[in-house]
Amino acid sequence: MPKHIVRLVMLLLAFVIVAYTAKQYFTAGSFYQFGHYRGLSVAEIASDKPKFKTPKYCEQCHASEYAEWAKGVHNNVELGKVVKCEVCHGPAGSRDVKGRFDNVTTGKDHPSGLKMTIPVDTARLCTLCHEQMPGRPAQQRQIVVAEHARTQQCTVCHNPHSPRTFKVAAASAAKGDAVAGKAIAAGCAGCHGEAGIGDSAPGLAGQKADYLVISLKAYKTGARANELMSSIAKDLSDNDIANVAAYFSAAKCKSAGNGDKKAAAAGLAVAAKCATCHGAQGVSTQPSWPNLAGLSGEYLLGSFKSYKAGERKNGMMDGIAQGLSDTDAANVAAYFANAACR
């Protein structure tokens, strides 16, 4: 065999030996234990945990949110329910190994650019703990998602930092003078009836004062559209609005009773879906949400149709109205029209 061939074979053989030795030396022992990677890397990455800084750290910049959380059900040690800030908003600090796997959302030390992680799909997040299922602790509030709010986000109604506190528009803190409001209310009688007891238009007698204030201010600013009501509301001062709301809320109500009796019976099951906001019998426990009991069936049905058509907007009602058939809407309107208003 020619000498140059022998030298070439020896060189190739030496290269193979060096390559094999290098592979054995540099390849981790756990390589390909589970797949084409180091088996031990799984445990290493899992142990590289993000740093949590506790709610006290968050209080420095988010005092109001911390106060809501601290007094709410999510910070109840007695019930064993402590949902800390970083459970929803993500860890405030970087991971244990600096320079690797840093928390890119909040930065190594929150805040990064004054931004924080804010959950977008709260319906998916909240139902991890609150969707009804067997074996879940009874003291933990549970809901049937399809019946409770359908596709609506939890934050439409609930304060995310204190979920038992409903997130509603704030009415005027000043309480009105019912006596002063009586004179203003006289101008409402043409549509809403004497002392707020109307037929086709909604009865105002016995309605929540805060809700009436919110509604009139919405007409005044244009947030709620009705040509007649908008023109009336624009002429009212904030004191006038508070006074007329006080008058109607103190007035004795009378149920319209103009709903079909058979339809009302069928509407009972549908009305159960309204109980969370408007009360079990249509009398709301929330001052900023209206009573439905005793309102005109025509008015209620018209309202449902307006929400369904998008002519009237409300984060929660939009979704509920879309889920009601015309028959269901007529039945539930008849149910509330025949219900006792007090």
Supply 146's token pair. 């399809």
Q: Report helix angle 326-338 to 297-309, nearest 10.
A: 150
Q: Note whether residue 31 is domain-resident.
A: yes
User: Looking at the structure, do residues 245 and 146 belong to the same domain, yes or no?
Assistant: no
User: Looking at the structure, do residues 64 and 133 belong to the same domain, yes or no?
Assistant: yes
User: Looking at the structure, do residues 160 and 115 belong to the same domain, yes or no?
Assistant: yes
Name which of 88-97, 169-178, 262-271, 331-340 the model is least confident about: 169-178
Domain ends where: 113, 144, 166?
166
Q: Note whether residue 172 is domain-resident.
A: no
> Which structural domain, as residue segments, surrounds residue 8?
3-47
Q: What is the pLDDT of residue 105?
A: 54
Q: Note whether residue 43 is domain-resident.
A: yes
User: Looking at the structure, do residues 245 and 326 belong to the same domain, yes or no?
Assistant: no
Domain ends where: 223, 250, 277?
250
Q: Note whether residue 108 is domain-resident.
A: yes
Q: Among 232, 227, 236, which residue's Cα sits nearest to residue 176?
A: 236
User: Looking at the structure, do residues 101 and 135 belong to the same domain, yes or no?
Assistant: yes
Q: Is the pLDDT of residue 4 over 80?
A: yes
Cα distance between residue 183 and residue 264, in whole Å: 36
Contact between 85 and 58 under an 8 Å Cβ cutoff? The reply is yes
Instruction: Tell me how long the chain is.
Output: 342
Strands 37-38 and 158-159: unpaired
User: Looking at the structure, do residues 160 and 60 belong to the same domain, yes or no?
Assistant: yes
Q: Note whether residue 91 is domain-resident.
A: yes
The SS3 of residue 74 is coil
For the stretch 13-46, pLDDT in tens is: 999 999 999 988 888 888 888 888 888 877 777 7
Contact between 294 and 255 under an 8 Å Cβ cutoff? The reply is yes
Q: Note whether residue 291 is domain-resident.
A: yes
Q: What is the pLDDT of residue 97?
A: 56
User: Looking at the structure, do residues 133 and 66 belong to the same domain, yes or no?
Assistant: yes
For the stretch 224-254, pLDDT in tens is: 888 999 999 999 999 999 999 999 999 999 9
- Residues in CB range of 31: below 8 A, 6 or more apart: 37, 38, 39
> Phi/psi of residue 196, each to 5°?
85, 15
In our burial notation (b when 16+ CB lie closer than 10 A, e otherwise), range 65-100 reads: bbebbeebebbeeeeebebebbebbbbbbbbeeeee
In our burial notation (b when 16+ CB lie closer than 10 A, e otherwise), range 149-177 reads: beebbbbbbbbbbbbeebbbeebbeeebe
| Neighbour-count burial of 245, counting CB atoms closer than 10 A to its CB (0-12 exposed, 13-18 middle, 19+ buried) | buried
- pTM of the model as a whole: 0.65
User: Looking at the structure, do residues 158 and 187 belong to the same domain, yes or no?
Assistant: no
Residue whose entry in the numeric block shows the structure tokens 């058939």: 325
User: Looking at the structure, do residues 26 and 92 belong to the same domain, yes or no?
Assistant: no
User: Looking at the structure, do residues 267 and 212 belong to the same domain, yes or no?
Assistant: no
Residue whose entry in the numeric block shows the structure tokens 């006080």: 246
Contact between 172 and 219 under an 8 Å Cβ cutoff? The reply is no
Q: Is the pLDDT of residue 111 over 70?
A: no
How does DSSP assign 211-267, residue by residue? HHHHHHHHHHHTSS--HHHHHHHHT--HHHHHHHHHHHHHSPP-----S-HHHHHHH
pLDDT band per the 50, 70, 90 thresholds, residue 104: low
Q: How many domains does the chain have?
A: 4
For the stretch 167-208, pLDDT in tens is: 665 555 568 999 999 999 999 998 998 889 876 678 999 999
Q: Note whether residue 255 is domain-resident.
A: no
Residue whose entry in the numeric block shows the structure tokens 């409300």: 314
> Phi/psi of residue 210, each to 5°?
-60, -40
- Which run of H or of E encompasses 31? strand 31-35
User: Looking at the structure, do residues 222 and 266 belong to the same domain, yes or no?
Assistant: no
Residue whose entry in the numeric block shows the structure tokens 């890119």: 104
For the stretch 117-152, pLDDT in tens is: 788 899 899 999 999 999 888 888 898 887 777 677
User: Looking at the structure, do residues 278 and 295 belong to the same domain, yes or no?
Assistant: yes
Contact between 72 and 162 under an 8 Å Cβ cutoff? The reply is yes
Q: What's 222's domain CATH number?
A: 1.10.760.10
Q: Note whether residue 256 is domain-resident.
A: no
